[in-house]
Amino acid sequence: MSCDHPDLLPLDEALTRLWAALPAPPVLELRADRDDPASDLAAMDGVALRAAEGLAPRRLLGTLYAGDDPAAFTVTPGTAVRIMTGAALPPGADAILPVEQLREAEGLIHPLEVPRPGDHTRARGEQARAGDLLLSAERPFSAVRVALQAWVGQPVPPLGRIRVAVASTGDELVAHPRPHQIRDSNGPMLAALAHTLGAEVERRPSLPDDPAALGRALRNAGGARILLTSGGVSMGEHDHLPSVLKDLGATILFHKIRLKPGKPMLAAQLDDLLVLALPGNPVSAYLNALIFLPVALARLEGRAMPDAWHWGRLTAAVKTKGDRPFMVPCRRTGSQLHPLAGKGSADLVTLAQADAFAWVDPGGREPGAEVRYLTIV
Ligand SMILES: Nc1nc2c(c(=O)[nH]1)N[C@H]1C(S)=C(S)[C@@H](COP(=O)(O)OP(=O)(O)OC[C@H]3O[C@@H](n4cnc5c(N)ncnc54)[C@H](O)[C@@H]3O)O[C@H]1N2
Ligand code: MOO
């Protein structure tokens, strides 16, 4: 296959570089602080009894709810205790008979099934013994990790959001445009997307195509962890961002990826600030933010690498030009992807009609082809 752009970085490599460059917050290994469960527990609502007595009727001594001290009752021959799921087994009992498997009459319960020792109980220590390793420090942050941390009595981490600043660049951006000017749509779009993805968002004023002003804005990101910019990363004479970042001593993680739209995408680290410099064309800016921002947020929060891709089928042919994979905006019905005939990476109107971006390899795809896609949020 001919290669129009041998210098372009494949998307997967760009994602891997971004992931590797960002530090994940430290997470602890988690050990059981006590046996789990710490008592024998009921796993069903019913009665606690002695299994050996088979189908013999039992007299009810009382009721134990989850959290009750089970020492209140002792199950002796001929007796049972009504018990709720999660309550500790009273002394003497060795099985739970679920409420569906008994009949009650005149203060007695009559088993309808023969109970066996251990039935519907969770035995002390069956999950873990005090001191057992429950989760290694390699396992990523997740809501379940937080739950386990609380379960073993560790303080849970504060749920801060990553601060993301959004600044558009371009002298053409004005609030009341004359025909040669435009309104800033990328700024509001990227702020809304970052918000949707769970970031704490700060809108910044649009920046002029002026290296000094861009440099000042990059150096004063105001405590944001990530800066999303749009525009000024391509080959134009006013596309200053790459050189300004280099002059500031930023580490360029990548610049220019093998993707259409979105080729000029740049990611850089400037001290503690991650700069995701998105192309100015609205479809390119959106798509790149949709791809890269969730990965950066996940890494900085210590989560696993997100896998946002789904699989669907194209309902119509998609032709491509050149050697970049093409992400075509589609309407989606279930897993059916209906490609939209758009007017390219400036076509915000078609993007607004779309539900998904389908990945089409160079060379194009036929109707019915199975492709992966990203959902537009
Ligand atoms: N000679 C070359 N020219 C271009 C190339 C190239 O490889 N060689 N790449 C093209 C591609 S692909 C894209 S995408 C654009 C991206 O360029 P920039 O990131 O430098 O963006 P700008 O030139 O500043 O703007 C592009 C386009 O988007 C409009 N824009 C910018 N900001 C906003 C905003 N906040 N809201 C709405 N629209 C915005 C801007 O007016 C331009 O029309 O470069 C190609 N050129
Ligand atoms: O790759 Mo550009 O993002 O086509 O318009």
pLDDT one-digit tens code per residue, 287-324:
999 999 999 999 999 999 999 999 999 999 999 999 99
Residue 172 lies in a domain: yes
Residue 3 has pLDDT above 90, yes or no: no
Question: Considering only CA atoms, which of 333, 342, 376 is closest in space to residue 357?
Answer: 376
**Residues 209-238, mean pLDDT to the nearest whole number:** 95
| Rounded percentage of the chain residues whose pLDDT exceeds 90 | 94
Query: Within this chain, do residues 175 and 145 fall inside the same structural domain, yes or no?
Result: no
Query: Within this chain, do residues 177 and 287 fall inside the same structural domain, yes or no?
Result: yes
* Cβ atoms < 10 Å from Cβ of 293: 24
Q: What range defines the domain where residue 143 resides? A: 30-35+127-151
* Residue to probe by mutation, ligand 2, list 255, 259, 281, 357, most atoms within 8 Å of CB: 281
Residue 3 lies in a domain: no
Query: Within this chain, do residues 281 and 337 fall inside the same structural domain, yes or no?
Result: no
Round to whole Å and give the CA distance between 203 and 54. 71
Residue 4 lies in a domain: no
**Residues 192-205, mean pLDDT to the nearest whole number:** 98
Residue 2 — very low, low, confident or very high, per pLDDT cuts 50/70/90?
A: very low
pLDDT tens column, 324-360 = 999 999 999 999 999 999 899 999 999 999 999 999 9
The pLDDT of residue 1? 43
pLDDT tens column, 99-141 = 999 999 988 999 999 999 999 999 999 999 999 999 999 999 9
Total structural domains in the chain? Answer: 4
Amino acid at 24: A
Annotate 159-170 with b (16+ C-beta within 10 A) or e (fewer): eeebbbbbbbbb
Residue 2 lies in a domain: no
Mean pLDDT taken over the chain: 96
Give the domain-ending residue among 301, 322, 347: 301
Instruction: Kindly give the distance from the C-alpha atom of residue 259 to the centroid of ligand 2, in angstroms, as a whole number.
Output: 8
Residues in contact with ligand 2 by the CB-under-6-Å rule are 260-263, 279, 281, 284, 345
The pLDDT of residue 4? 59
CB of 121 closer than 6 A to ligand 1?
no
The ligand that comes nearest to the alpha carbon of residue 205 is 1
Question: 356: which residues sit within 8 A by CB, 6+ positions away?
Answer: 310, 312, 329, 330, 331, 332, 337, 373, 374, 375, 376
Instruction: Kindly give the distance from the C-alpha atom of residue 284 to the centroid of ligand 2, in angstroms, as a whole number.
Output: 6
Total residue count of the chain as it appears in this document: 377
Query: Within this chain, do residues 265 and 292 fall inside the same structural domain, yes or no?
Result: yes
